[in-house]
Chains A and B, each alone.
Chain A
Amino acid sequence: MTDPAPVGPPIIEVRNLRVSTPERTILDDVTLDVPDRQVTSVIGPSGSGKTTFIRTLNRMVETTPGLRVEGAIHYQGQDIHDPRVNPVFLRQRIGMVFQRPAVFPMSIYNNVVFGLRLNGTDPSEFDRIVGHSLERAGLLKELQGNLDRPAFELSGGQQQRLCIARALAVKPRVLLMDEPTGSLDPISTQRVEETVEELQREIAIVIVTHSIAQAARVSDRTAYFYQGRLVEVAPTEVLFERPTQKLTEEYITGRFG
């Protein structure tokens, strides 16, 4: 299945992606463009390959032993599997937020500057970047003056937004979010969604979600995965109102999944 109408210029182009283990195929023949400065949501039932898909985009999939990746992925026209591409640099351009808020056991401030210490940012810039990143993640007002507190002490929603701030601090062009609200309560979910909305005109976001409603709320485009295949991808309102595929329709109308 190919992508019929990309909206805006793509920042990531995925062609004929296949991910497999010796025993089974996890993703097969996925071709998809990720538009820049828009939110793309990835939906589908459990085991459809959504998470594996976004983990291929910043080559995090390579940290899981035994997976074989075929096909092509281009980031800004550059083949990310080119041997000259260092995955470490790639991941600084394509950030990622996970389902469980993974704050490091250090202060809030040190969490945010973690990536900056790695990429050699001038430490005199840290304070400014921390403030900016926390503001973009909608945390600055809540945390102002408490940046030396351990990050553990924050609530779950705050921790997740801290992870977003931490990812944003290194100024990625793409942010991958793997069910970022999966472990959060409704209020925290709403705050994270607000953050996503604020970011969506600045960077490209790919968000994996179990919630059809969330996909409808936050995304410009939605891709539906089923059993390792991309069934359909379209502008969100099109996909939800006039799905072309029967499988998509069954899923979004709640007949299964």
Chain B
Amino acid sequence: MAATPSPALPPPRGSGWRAWLGSPVALLPLVLVAAIVIVLLYASELRNFGGSFWSLNYLFDPLTDSGSFGVGIFAVGTAITAIMALILAGALSLAIAISLTVYLPPIASRPLTILTNLLAGIPSVVYGIWGYVILAPYFGSTLEPTLQNVIGFIPGFGGTRADTAGGTGLLLAVFILTIMVIPLTTAIMRESLRNVPKDLVEAGLALGATQWEVTRRVRFSVARGGLWGALFLGFGRAIGEAVAVAMVIGASVQIPSTFYGGSTTIASFIFYQLDSAFTYPSLLQALVEYALVLLAIAVVVNVVGQRATHSDMIAAATGGI
């Protein structure tokens, strides 16, 4: 301690030009988000935000370029599709992630991991095309009429032949979204479970727990943040998906009485109305405001999801110490 420090010590890493450059670069995402919000707010002129904007009432009259631009129906359609897809994808992802990390030997889990990662890399428009060209005719001609016959007594699964015609609608949109969300949620859940310290797992086994009991009581507990984070980030993906949903949801501005009926989401409505909107200024403003609503939801969902996942990583890193 008494020794004087060497005067020739190099400056700490990150000082100099790197530190000087580093902080503005780090701020870039924040600046970009702020710029997007400001430009959108400016473009929308906030003309429609108000009582009717938050209603279920959407009606546009192109002749007078005016109307009632309630976001309600689109928000409900977004919520229904995203939440249903998330319930299905969450359950399946959890099952897949547990199989991959706990039960399957590496020789089987490795190719399956690659496969799920591959699913994540498929562009959404490919899912949309697949859903539209292959699945929609099957849903409309076979699956949905069968469902009507078998479980038609359950509210939401009955309806008429006209409801199932074409096969597009809520059910197909939920199906496609589920498949699109699974790779993301599976990847996060898998990593969260994989990050559970081996010590804790062994400790659980050594106390006489079965693998499933260790998974349920220890792995879930340690990975809780990551598992919730996966659901939030999956939700963020589901609400933001425009192209694939637009292709298969049936593009009806309604909350349908059955799961076969057409509906629409905020993102997909923006997607397929955008080119008309350049001809109708009031419609464009409404779409910009819908985009702002979507942005706000997405930011909240992603921040919550990232934080949950991040806290889980910290828990995993410090687990057992």
**Do A and B have CB atoms closer than 8 angstroms in the complex?**
yes
Of the residues A65, A102, A117, A119, contact of B199 by C-beta under 8 Å: A102
Bound: A103/B218 CA distance, A: 10
Cβ–Cβ < 8 Å partners of A90 in chain B: 208
Cβ–Cβ < 8 Å partners of B319 in chain A: 105
Contact B207 A95 (CB under 8 A): yes
Bound: A106/B199 CA distance, A: 15
Is A115 interfacial (CB-CB < 8 Å)?
A: yes
User: Beyond A102-B200, A102-B320, is A92–B221 a contact (Cβ under 8 Å)?
Assistant: no
10 closest Cβ pairs, A-B complex:
A92-B208, A102-B203, A96-B206, A102-B199, A115-B207, A91-B208, A102-B320, A102-B200, A100-B199, A88-B208
Cβ–Cβ < 8 Å partners of B321 in chain A: 100-101, 156, 159
Is B210 interfacial (CB-CB < 8 Å)?
A: yes
Contact A170 B207 (CB under 8 A): yes
Query: Shortest beta-carbon distance, A204 to chain B, in Å?
Result: 16
Q: How many contacting A-B pairs (Cβ < 8 A)?
A: 76
Q: Which of B106, B209, B320, B321 has the most CB of A within 10 A?
A: B320
8 Å CB contacts to B: which residues of A103-129? 103-106, 114-115, 117-119
Is A144 interfacial (CB-CB < 8 Å)?
A: no
Query: Shortest beta-carbon distance, A111 to chain B, in Å?
Result: 10
Is A166 interfacial (CB-CB < 8 Å)?
A: yes
8 Å CB contacts to B: which residues of A61-97? 63, 65, 88-92, 95-96
Q: 1/0 per position for B197-229, CB-CB distance to A under 8 A?
A: 101101111111110010001100110000000
Is B318 interfacial (CB-CB < 8 Å)?
A: yes
Is A209 interfacial (CB-CB < 8 Å)?
A: no
Contact A104 B203 (CB under 8 A): yes
Is B10 interfacial (CB-CB < 8 Å)?
A: no
Q: Which residues of A contact B (CB under 8 A)?
A: 58, 60, 63, 65, 88-92, 95-96, 98, 100-106, 114-115, 117-119, 152, 156, 159, 163, 166-167, 170
Contact B199 A166 (CB under 8 A): no
Cβ–Cβ < 8 Å partners of A102 in chain B: 197, 199-200, 202-203, 320
User: Beyond A105-B315, A106-B221, is A118–B320 a contact (Cβ under 8 Å)?
Assistant: no
Bound: A58/B206 CA distance, A: 8
Cβ–Cβ < 8 Å partners of B213 in chain A: 118
Q: 6 additional contacts, CB 8 Å, given A91-B205, A100-B320, A101-B320? A: A88-B210, A89-B208, A90-B208, A91-B206, A98-B203, A118-B207
Bound: A100/B197 CA distance, A: 11
Bound: A58/B213 CA distance, A: 18
Query: Shortest beta-carbon distance, A237 to chain B, in Å?
Result: 31
Query: Shortest beta-carbon distance, B310 to chain A, in Å?
Result: 16
Cβ–Cβ < 8 Å partners of B208 in chain A: 88-92, 115, 118-119, 170
Is B14 interfacial (CB-CB < 8 Å)?
A: no
Bound: A44/B308 CA distance, A: 44
We find that the number of chain B residues with CB closer than 8 angstroms to chain A is 24
Cβ–Cβ < 8 Å partners of B105 in chain A: 65
- How would you classify the secondary structure of chain A's contact residues: helix, strand, loop or mixed? helix
Cβ–Cβ < 8 Å partners of B200 in chain A: 102, 104
Q: Which residues of B contact A (CB under 8 A)?
A: 105-106, 197, 199-200, 202-210, 213, 217-218, 221-222, 315, 318-321
Bound: A118/B209 CA distance, A: 7
Query: Shortest beta-carbon distance, A180 to chain B, in Å?
Result: 12
Contact A104 B218 (CB under 8 A): yes
Bound: A170/B206 CA distance, A: 11
Bound: A63/B209 CA distance, A: 12
Cβ–Cβ < 8 Å partners of A167 in chain B: 206-207
User: Beyond A102-B320, A105-B315, A118-B213, is A60–B205 a contact (Cβ under 8 Å)?
Assistant: yes
Cβ–Cβ < 8 Å partners of A117 in chain B: 217
Bound: A33/B208 CA distance, A: 23
Cβ–Cβ < 8 Å partners of B217 in chain A: 104, 114, 117
Query: Shortest beta-carbon distance, B208 to chain A, in Å?
Result: 4
Bound: A166/B203 CA distance, A: 10
User: Beyond A100-B199, A103-B320, A152-B318, is A60–B206 a contact (Cβ under 8 Å)?
Assistant: yes
Contact A163 B203 (CB under 8 A): yes
Of the residues B204, B206, B222, contact of A95 by C-beta under 8 Å: B206
Cβ–Cβ < 8 Å partners of A65 in chain B: 105-106
B208 (CB) vs chain A CBs: closest residue: A92
Q: Which of A117, A118, A156 has the most CB of B within 10 A?
A: A118
Bound: A46/B203 CA distance, A: 22
B105 (CB) vs chain A CBs: closest residue: A65
Contact A114 B204 (CB under 8 A): yes
Q: Which of A104, A117, A118 has the most CB of B within 10 A?
A: A104
Bound: A91/B204 CA distance, A: 10
Bound: A166/B218 CA distance, A: 14
Cβ–Cβ < 8 Å partners of A166 in chain B: 203, 207
7 contacts between A and B (CB under 8 A): A88-B209, A91-B205, A98-B206, A100-B199, A102-B320, A104-B222, A119-B208
Query: Shortest beta-carbon distance, A1 to chain B, in Å?
Result: 28
